[in-house]
Amino acid sequence: MSTYQNRRYAFIMRKIKHFLFLFGLLSCSAQNTCAVAQASPIRILVLGDSLTAGYGLRPEEAFPAQLQRKLIRTGRQVKVLNRGVSGDTSAGGRARLTWVLGDKPHAVIIELGANDGLRGLEPIQLRDNLDAIISILRTQKVAVLLTGMRAPPNFGEKYSAQFDAVYPDLAKKHGLPLYPFFLEGVVSEPSLNQKDGIHPNSRGVKKIVDQITPYVLRLIDGLENK
């Protein structure tokens, strides 16, 4: 190939590359998809206890893993981080918050309080701990989805009323989305729970995920629209 032909070939290749680059930019602008495709996954951290840690389940059956698969099927690019600790109270979640924030989440789903209720801890302690967790997350500009819990009935109506009111009160105070009861439709169904009657089995977790997904999608949409 002559020198002229080499130069001509190089010139044509530059033109082709330039055209492809412009075509790519136009396609991105028209479909608004390139930013999403190239962006890093949205990191959603689940701060919880055994109900989200996956007690008695295989890792892929736990709430965070099932939620991640569900969200990906909707077309969302996400990574759901399992930061549940079995036996954790709201105080425990508060104590380890700084550590889990090292994961740099964009959003946090708070699932705490079940063990506070089982141990009959004072609702004011639950309120203070959750309030502190939410305040720190808001200061860090992390989006929050609060999930509610209900007190066991054996501590009386007064205790249950005070306990159950913590979640809607804090959601209202901080302007947060609230999933009213994490175990909705699962807690009283033997077929959806493990033999202990407390922890959801894989089917129970799937039901929770199916019900909470619309709330999580709205949380993600809020992040993407900022």
Q: What are the residue numbers of the active site? A: 50, 196, 199
Report the alpha-carbon distance of residue 204 to residue 51 in Å, rounded: 11
Report the alpha-carbon distance of residue 82 to residue 59 in Å, rounded: 9
Return the amino acid letter for 164. Answer: D
Tokens of 83: 């930061």
Report the alpha-carbon distance of residue 107 to residue 110 in Å, rounded: 10
Tokens of 194: 């493990």
Burial class (CB in 10 A: 0-12, 13-18, 19+), 109: buried
* Nearest one of 97, 44, 201 to 112, comparing CA atoms: 97
Burial class (CB in 10 A: 0-12, 13-18, 19+), 217: middle
Tokens of 133: 């967790």
Provide the strand spans (E) within the chain: 42-48, 78-84, 107-111, 143-147, 178-179
